[in-house]
Structure 1
Amino acid sequence: MTRITVQLTDRLSTLGLRAARRDRPPTLVAVAHGSRDPAASRTVTALLERVRALRPDVPVRLGHIELNQPLLADTLAALRGEAVVVPLLLGRGYHVKQDIPAAVAAAPHLAARIAAPLGPHPLLAEALHARLAEAGWRDAVPPGAGVVLAAAGSRDPDAAVDTARTAALLSARLGGVPVLPGYASGLGPTVPEAVRALAALGRERTAVASCFAAPGRFAAECAGAAPGLAAAPLGAHPAMARLVVHRYEQALSSAPLSHPAATVGV
Structure 2
Amino acid sequence: MSSAAPSSTPLPVRTPGARSRGRHRRPELPQLPVDAPALLLAVPGEASAAAQQTADELVSLIRAEQPGIDVHAAYLASATGPVDAGSAGTDTVEAEAADNEAVAGDATGGAVADGTALDGTAFDGTALDGDVLGSDVLGGAALLGGAVDGGVDGVAVGTVAEELPVFGFFGESVPREPATLAGLLGEAHAAGRPAPIVVPLVPGTDAVLERVLEDISATLGEIRVTEPLGPHPLLAEALHVRLSEAGLARADRARLFAVNTAADGIVLVVTGGIDSLQRAEVTGVLLAARLAVPVVAAALDQPGSVAAAVAHLRATGCAQPALAPCLIGPEADADLLKAVAHETDCPASEVLGAYPTIARLALGHYLGALGIDQDPTQT
TM-score band w.r.t. shorter chain: 0.7 to 0.9
Letter in 1 for 2:281: A
Alignment gaps of 5+ in structure 2: 1-32, 80-177, 251-257, 373-379
Q: Is 1:166 matched with 2:283?
A: yes
The separation in 1 between residues aligned to 2:240 and 2:64, in whole angstroms, is 23
Aligned to 1:30: 41
Aligned to 1:196: 311
The separation in 1 between residues aligned to 2:324 and 2:366, in whole angstroms, is 26
Q: Which runs of 4+ in 1 moved over 6 A?
A: none
Quick one: structure 1 residues 253 and 239, their matched pair in 2 at CA, closer, same or farther if it must change by over 3 Å?
Answer: same
The separation in 1 between residues aligned to 2:217 and 2:277, in whole angstroms, is 25
The separation in 1 between residues aligned to 2:262 and 2:356, in whole angstroms, is 30
Match of 2:266 among 144, 147, 163: 147
The separation in 1 between residues aligned to 2:290 and 2:317, in whole angstroms, is 21
The separation in 2 between residues aligned to 1:142 and 1:163, in whole angstroms, is 21
Between the two structures, name the one with larger relative contact order (CA 8 Å, sep ≥ 6): 1
Question: How far 1:36 moved relative to its partner?
Answer: 7.2
Quick one: structure 1 residues 197 and 126, their matched pair in 2 at CA, closer, same or farther if it must change by over 3 Å?
Answer: same
Aligned to 1:41: 52
Deviations 1:50-75 (A, max 9, x none): 11111122101221123544221001
The separation in 2 between residues aligned to 1:193 and 1:27, in whole angstroms, is 42
Quick one: structure 1 residues 164 and 203, their matched pair in 2 at CA, closer, same or farther if it must change by over 3 Å?
Answer: same
Give me the TM-score of the superposition, normalised by structure 1. 0.76
Quick one: structure 1 residues 28 and 142, their matched pair in 2 at CA, closer, same or farther if it must change by over 3 Å?
Answer: closer
Kindly indicate whether the alpha-carbon contact (under 8 Å) linking 1:96 and 1:117 is maintained by their aligned counterparts in 2. Answer: no
Aligned to 2:220: 107
The separation in 1 between residues aligned to 2:351 and 2:357, in whole angstroms, is 13
Quick one: structure 1 residues 144 and 86, their matched pair in 2 at CA, closer, same or farther if it must change by over 3 Å?
Answer: closer
Question: How far 1:234 moved relative to its partner?
Answer: 0.7
Aligned to 1:86: 199
Question: How far 1:222 moved relative to its partner?
Answer: 2.3
Question: How far 1:225 moved relative to its partner?
Answer: 2.7
Question: How far 1:118 moved relative to its partner?
Answer: 0.6
- Structure label with greater radius of gyration: 2
Write the mapping of 1:214-233 to structure 2, written as runs, cut at 5 A.
Answer: 214=329, 218-226=333-341, 227-233=345-351
Aligned to 1:180: 296
Quick one: structure 1 residues 158 and 240, their matched pair in 2 at CA, closer, same or farther if it must change by over 3 Å?
Answer: same
The separation in 2 between residues aligned to 1:40 and 1:144, in whole angstroms, is 29
The separation in 2 between residues aligned to 1:247 and 1:101, in whole angstroms, is 20
SS of residue matched to 1:225 = helix
Question: How far 1:249 moved relative to its partner?
Answer: 1.1
Deviations 1:56-104 (A, max 9, x none): 2210122112354422100111222232110001113424543324324
The separation in 2 between residues aligned to 1:44 and 1:56, in whole angstroms, is 17
The separation in 1 between residues aligned to 2:340 and 2:47, in whole angstroms, is 21
Quick one: structure 1 residues 241 and 210, their matched pair in 2 at CA, closer, same or farther if it must change by over 3 Å?
Answer: same
Question: How far 1:112 moved relative to its partner?
Answer: 4.6
Deviations 1:183-203 (A, max 9, x none): 2214x6522221111101111
The share of aligned pairs that are identical, in percent, is 34
Give me the TM-score of the superposition, normalised by structure 2. 0.55
Kindly indicate whether the alpha-carbon contact (under 8 Å) linking 2:44 and 2:331 is maintained by their aligned counterparts in 1. Answer: no
Q: Is 1:57 matched with 2:68?
A: yes
Aligned to 2:242: 131
Larger mean CA deviation between 28-37 and 198-207 belongs to: 28-37
Give the structure with the higher percent helix.
Answer: 1
Kindly indicate whether the alpha-carbon contact (under 8 Å) linking 2:280 and 2:297 is maintained by their aligned counterparts in 1. Answer: yes
Kindly indicate whether the alpha-carbon contact (under 8 Å) linking 1:212 and 1:219 is maintained by their aligned counterparts in 2. Answer: no
Aligned to 1:9: none
- TM-align CA RMSD: 2.6
Larger mean CA deviation between 234-243 and 221-230 belongs to: 221-230
SS of residue matched to 1:209 = strand
Letter in 2 for 1:78: E
Kindly indicate whether the alpha-carbon contact (under 8 Å) linking 1:125 and 1:170 is maintained by their aligned counterparts in 2. Answer: yes
Quick one: structure 1 residues 46 and 89, their matched pair in 2 at CA, closer, same or farther if it must change by over 3 Å?
Answer: same
The separation in 1 between residues aligned to 2:316 and 2:338, in whole angstroms, is 22
The separation in 2 between residues aligned to 1:91 and 1:142, in whole angstroms, is 26
SS of residue matched to 2:352 = coil
The separation in 2 between residues aligned to 1:182 and 1:222, in whole angstroms, is 12
Q: Is 1:210 matched with 2:325?
A: yes
Letter in 1 for 2:70: P
Kindly indicate whether the alpha-carbon contact (under 8 Å) linking 2:233 and 2:286 is maintained by their aligned counterparts in 1. Answer: yes
Aligned to 2:185: 76
